[in-house]
Amino acid sequence: MMRFLRFLLLAVVFLAGPWQIRAADSNRADLVTAILSEDLDHQIEIIKKLSDADEPIVTQVLAAWRLSEVYIYEQDDKKIPFLLDPQLNSDGEAKGLRIIDGSVINDAEGKPIWFASFDLVPAENNSKLRIAIKATLDFFSLSDPNPKVRRDATIKLGQSQNLDYIPNFEAKLKKETDKETIRALKEAIALTQLVDEKKEARIAGLKKLGELRSINSMSFLQDFLKKTKEDTKVDRADERKQAESTIKIIEGYIAMGNFAGTSFRGLSTAAVLLIAALGLAITFGLMGVINMAHGEIMAVGAYTAFVTQNLFKSWFGVSGGKFDMYFLVAIVLSFITAALVGLILERGVIRFLYKRPLESLLATWGVSLVLQQIFRSVFGAANVQVGSPSWLSGSFVVHDVLFAYNRIFVIVFAVSIVYGTYLLLTKTSLGLQIRAVMQNRNMASCIGVRTERVNMMTFAFGSGLAGMAGACMSQLANVGPSLGQNYIVDCFMIVVLGGVGSLGGTVSASLGVGVTNQVLEPWLGAVLGKILVLSGIILFLQWRPAGIFATKSRSLDG
Amino acid sequence: MTRFLNKKESLILAIVSFLILVVLPCLNAFVPKESFFHVSDFTINVYGKYLCYAVLALGVNLLWGYTGLLSLGQCLFFALGGYALGMHLMLMIGKLGQYQKDIPDFMVFLEFETKYAETGGLPPHWMPFRSIWFAVLMVIVVPAVVAYIFGFLAFRSRIKGVYFSILSQALTYAACLMFFRNDFTFGGNNGLTDFKFILGADINTPETKRWLFIASGVLLLSVYLLCRWLTSTKFGLIQRAIRDSENRVLFSGYATAHFKLFVFVLSAVICAVGGALYVPQVGIINPSEMSTDKSLEAVVWCAVGGRSTLIGPMIGAISVNALKSWATRAFAEQWLFMLGGMFIFVVLFMPNGIVGLPAQLKALKARYIDRKKSGEEPAPVDATEPAPATKSAD
């Protein structure tokens, strides 16, 4: 009867449609056969065979079968397997859809029959069957259009170390184009080979894993090594040797990866510190003004980024390329707003205090309190959300080392603003004047430099840099009223450590502190690492009280 | 004593001390509650706190006003003193804690019983704090040692001016982070709290609070007299000379580093003792007490009251804190505006603080009269003339 039905269907479909549909319907028929079969081995065989047939209906039916949601309806002594239509009527009942062709099951009068799921008999399944179905479903993911899904499925199947899968892997390997997935497939084959009965295959697998630098298989390798040691029946010395050398290769690779990762993270931490400290290196290092409100000026920049983001959101909507450009605009705007705030601060407070640095410390701390309270009143005490533009989120992986785009951006940004500052100081007339005023205010004033104006411009520029730092920070850290407080101590320490008045010193100090921080962090945790770095700086200043790059001067307190 | 206090001063001091040490506590204890003259327990407690702040302000001022060293770490010493006594008070709780164990609650909570099993859950360095005398000794020794080490390193390499401020800020920040850690064994974030007894007396009764208030008054009086004496000696003269021109003092043959180190350690001890009396009165000590902000606030008290005087910082500490208590209740939102504004205003327009205000007003008035007499264009009013206190060296 079944055969006949299948034949009939085949014939109909063959006449009616293109190849795929015929294949799909043959799959449907296979499914029906499997469901109705009484023989477990036969069922499993069919299910395995279906692992090549990646059709939505197959996935759907197999998944339903695994969850006991495939039902059987007996009509005229025929068993009809069917699924329930997801659309329920008001009584919670649904129409039955035949698996064989997806048509609705009708009663004798040609009206659809309504089924309630609780009084139906599900098609039987047992644990063996479910495992087979699971494997087949996993194989479907191997041909998923998304490479990432394929990769994950490969890794999972490889780790189950089932020798039966090897032919499937090899078949996929021939078709696969995605590099990462090819690697994953090779890894999966090699990993599965470890449980092969033949010693040669096992050794080949071990070698292959070493070649692939497979970090994922580390625990399997260790188990394998343990087994070879415990096995007293057979001598497995050469296998053990191979396993040991493979583990060594992979460990070396992991160490390299860790080193590269730590260096990268250290570099990006250094870049963050550098961006934050650069403005201070100008205002404190060059001008000698202790600006305790430096952190709050950074926060001004960060909040400018937040406002810009919201404006772009209301003008252009969240999606689309225009919104993604908001961040570039925000960087420019944050420079301008922060520079304006700096200008007001210089004109209003600091210019009276150039000769009294300790008091400028107190007054600017007062300013920082006022600014913090303004942020709280305007934007609320909670952190605000500044989203990343799409070109800054995400990351790429090279040799198992993760490179996040925003961290790369921070490094590039730091390098470019340091270079820009360097150009400004050395190649422009303003830079010349700034350096002149810094070296000897009175002399500069005597030869006609308008020192008041230069002070103003320098302070505004330093504040603008702080604002840009804040905008940049909005991509990495929380933006809240106390944003500045978290960086102020670090910034001052870096400028002092680097040597006041020296840009090169600031760069090298932030590199040193950033990398040390990242190296210490895995051992000691973030907080203890930070404490150690701070005490290290205090001790370092014993050795070189004026910092790494001391500005040479004959003045007594130089 | 009469050598450094003249008659008039002695009289005023005696009257003020009598008011604080005898009259206020008596008004609290013996005058019936309905009476207009009654001083409530709450007020006594709050004033006790202010007196401790005044001690802290004197410590800051000895360093800043008289030696020209702006330390942003004085609250660290204040808190260290507080922690040392707090540890003793924690151990005095006994079994009355939440968990009813021999060790303080937070130790039970942090599973110290398994970590320090051999001592029954108490970390070894806590053991001697069962003795009040040891705790009092530690109130003095620990901050002194910390200040000595830091000061030795800083002054040896001739770190001064703003660099000293920044380094002391970093020290405080590092210590603050350290105390926030749970495994540093000092209660982490929550600090030490829920004290029950001090010297066998229930710490929450009005009577104990009154005695603590009197103790704070006595402490303030003795610290004041100590500072007064110190600044009137030759030592005090050199101190001020260092403030005004360190290099000249150095070239005159004085080892300025030693002088500074001594003042730094002394100031640390003064702050610490103030902190130790502060803790039983507020009933809690936690790491936020040692943040840089608090140190800066203490500096503002001095600035507001008038630095380089001894009376100024005390006035400043008490008035700013009274203002704070009132303002944080009346307009909580605006308090930071007020504090920040006060900072800026005092630095820009009142370099000599409240104490210097009469002289400043007199000068203004004199100038006003001059202008009226001559009828000429007024000279620009330069209220921002630098205070004599912090003229930078050369």
Distance CA B227, CA B235 (A): 11
- A72 forms beta bridges with A81
Residues A68 and A122 in one domain: yes
Provide the H-helix boundaries in A399-484: 405-427, 429-439, 441-446, 451-473
Residues of B with Cβ-Cβ distance to A556 under 8 angstroms: 247, 393-394
Q: What is the pLDDT of residue A16?
A: 46
Q: What is the pLDDT of residues B294-304, one digit of tens each?
A: 888 899 899 88
Residues of A with Cβ-Cβ distance to B300 under 8 angstroms: 362
Tell me the C-alpha to C-alpha distance, in Å, between residue A224 and each of A75, A204, A245, B227: 55, 14, 13, 76
Q: What is the pLDDT of residue A53?
A: 64
Identify whether A93 is part of a domain. Answer: yes
Nearest to A363 among B166, B337, B344 (CB): B344
Identify whether A136 is part of a domain. Answer: no
Give the residue, A118 or B178, on which the prediction is more confident: B178
Residues A377 and A439 in one domain: yes
Q: What is the pLDDT of residues B145-203, one digit of tens each?
A: 999 999 998 888 887 778 888 888 888 888 888 888 887 888 888 888 888 888 888 88
Residues A290 and A426 in one domain: yes
Highest mean pLDDT among A98-107, B63-72, B186-195: B63-72
Q: What is the pLDDT of residue B314?
A: 92
Specify whether the CB–CB gap between B67 and B243 falls below 8 A: yes
pLDDT > 90? residue B276? yes
Distance from CA of A333 to the nearest CA of B (A): 26
Q: What is the pLDDT of residue A19?
A: 45
Among the listed residues B55, B8, B85, B74, the one whose alpha carbon sits nearest the alpha carbon of residue B226: B55
Highest mean pLDDT among A290-294, A553-557, B29-33: A290-294
pLDDT > 70? residue B394? no
Q: How confident is the model at residue A320 (pLDDT cuts 50, 70, 90)?
A: low
Distance from CA of A438 to the nearest CA of B (A): 17
Distance CA B21, CA B215 (A): 9
Residues of A with Cβ-Cβ distance to B341 under 8 angstroms: 366, 370
Identify whether A289 is part of a domain. Answer: yes
ipTM: 0.82
Residues A153 and A103 in one domain: no
pLDDT > 60? residue A221? yes
Identify whether A434 is part of a domain. Answer: yes
Give the residue, A406 or B251, on which the prediction is more confident: B251
List the single range of A23-27, A501-505, B13-17 with lowest mean pLDDT. Answer: A23-27
Q: What is the pLDDT of residues B231-266, one digit of tens each?
A: 889 999 999 999 988 889 999 999 999 999 999 999
Residues A220 and A296 in one domain: no
Decide if B344 and A489 are in contact by the 8 Å CB cutoff: no
List the single range of A112-116, A371-375, A544-548, B386-390 with lowest mean pLDDT. Answer: B386-390
pLDDT > 80? residue B82? yes
Q: What is the pLDDT of residue B268?
A: 95
Provide the number of structural domains found in chain A. 3
Give the residue, A9 or A407, on which the prediction is more confident: A407
Q: Taking all residues of chain B, what is their mean pLDDT, rounded to a whole number? A: 85
Say how many CB pairs under 8 Å bridge A and B: 125
Q: What is the pLDDT of residue A547?
A: 74
Q: To probe the interface with B, which of A344, A360, A370, A379 has the most B CB atoms within 10 Å? A: A370
Give the residue, A63 or A4, on which the prediction is more confident: A63
Residues A65 and A174 in one domain: no
Q: What is the pLDDT of residue B55?
A: 94
pLDDT > 80? residue A546? no
Angle between helices B132-156 and B74-92 (to 10 degrees): 160
Identify whether A556 is part of a domain. Answer: no
Residues A150 and A121 in one domain: no
Q: What is the pLDDT of residues A158-170, one digit of tens each?
A: 777 776 777 777 7
Residues A119 and A176 in one domain: no
The residue out of A128, A153, A178 marking a domain boundary is A128
Q: Taking all residues of chain A, what is their mean pLDDT, rounded to a whole number? A: 78
Angle between helices B256-282 and B132-156 (to 10 degrees): 140
Q: What is the pLDDT of residue A10?
A: 52
Residues of A contacting chain B (CB within 8 angstroms): 290, 349, 352-353, 355-363, 365-370, 372-373, 376-377, 489, 492-493, 496, 527-528, 530-531, 534-535, 537-539, 541-542, 545, 556-557
Provide the H-helix boundaries in B110-160: 112-115, 132-156
pLDDT > 60? residue B388? no
Q: What is the pLDDT of residue B249?
A: 92
Q: What is the pLDDT of residue B28?
A: 80
What is the mean predicted confidence (pLDDT) over A305-326?
A: 79
pLDDT > 50? residue B2? no
Q: What is the pLDDT of residues B278-293, one digit of tens each?
A: 999 998 898 888 888 8
List the single range of A195-209, A464-478, B98-112, B377-391 with lowest mean pLDDT. Answer: B377-391
Highest mean pLDDT among A80-84, A193-197, A536-540: A536-540
What is the mean predicted confidence (pLDDT) over A497-505?
A: 80
pLDDT > 70? residue B375? no
Give the residue, A174 or B78, on which the prediction is more confident: B78
Chain B residue with CA closest to A361: the answer is B162
- B201 forms beta bridges with B198
User: At A487, which CATH number?
Assistant: 1.10.3470
Q: What is the pLDDT of residue B51?
A: 93
What is the mean predicted confidence (pLDDT) over B217-224?
A: 93
List the single range of A33-47, B16-30, B179-193 with lowest mean pLDDT. Answer: A33-47
pLDDT > 90? residue A343? yes
Distance CA B187, CA B239 (A): 39
Distance CA A2, CA B208 (A): 97
Residues A186 and A311 in one domain: no
Identify whether A444 is part of a domain. Answer: yes
pLDDT > 70? residue B323? yes
Q: How confident is the model at residue B56 (pLDDT cuts 50, 70, 90)?
A: very high
Give the residue, B145 or A291, on which the prediction is more confident: B145
Residues A417 and A454 in one domain: yes
pLDDT > 50? residue A18? no
Give the residue, B60 or A88, on which the prediction is more confident: B60
Q: How confident is the model at residue B76 (pLDDT cuts 50, 70, 90)?
A: very high
The residue out of A216, A235, A254 marking a domain boundary is A235
**Which domain range does residue A119 map to?**
2-128
Identify whether A435 is part of a domain. Answer: yes
Burial of A168-205, coded b for 16+ CB within 10 Å and e otherwise, reads bbeebeeebeeeebebbbbbbbbbbbbebeeeebbbbb
Q: What is the DSSP string of A325-393?
A: THHHHHHHHHHHHHHHHHHHHHHHTGGG-TT-HHHHHHHHHHHHHHHHHHHHHHH-SSPBP-PPPTTTS
Specify whether the CB–CB gap between A269 and A516 falls below 8 A: no
CB B316: neighbour CB atoms within 10 A?
30
pLDDT > 80? residue A80? no
List the single range of A385-389, A423-427, A468-472, B256-260 with lowest mean pLDDT. Answer: A385-389
Identify whether A72 is part of a domain. Answer: yes
Q: What is the pLDDT of residue B392?
A: 41
Q: What is the pLDDT of residues A451-489, one digit of tens each?
A: 888 889 889 999 999 999 888 888 877 888 888 887 888
The residue out of A105, A128, A151 marking a domain boundary is A128
Specify whether the CB–CB gap between B335 and B324 falls below 8 A: yes
Decide if B347 and A542 are in contact by the 8 Å CB cutoff: no
Residues of B with Cβ-Cβ distance to A368 under 8 angstroms: 340
Give the residue, B337 or A32, on which the prediction is more confident: B337
Residues A92 and A153 in one domain: no
Decide if A290 and B165 are in contact by the 8 Å CB cutoff: yes
pLDDT > 50? residue B393? no
Residues A176 and A120 in one domain: no
Distance CA A5, CA A3 (A): 5
Lookup result for tokens 């006991």: A68
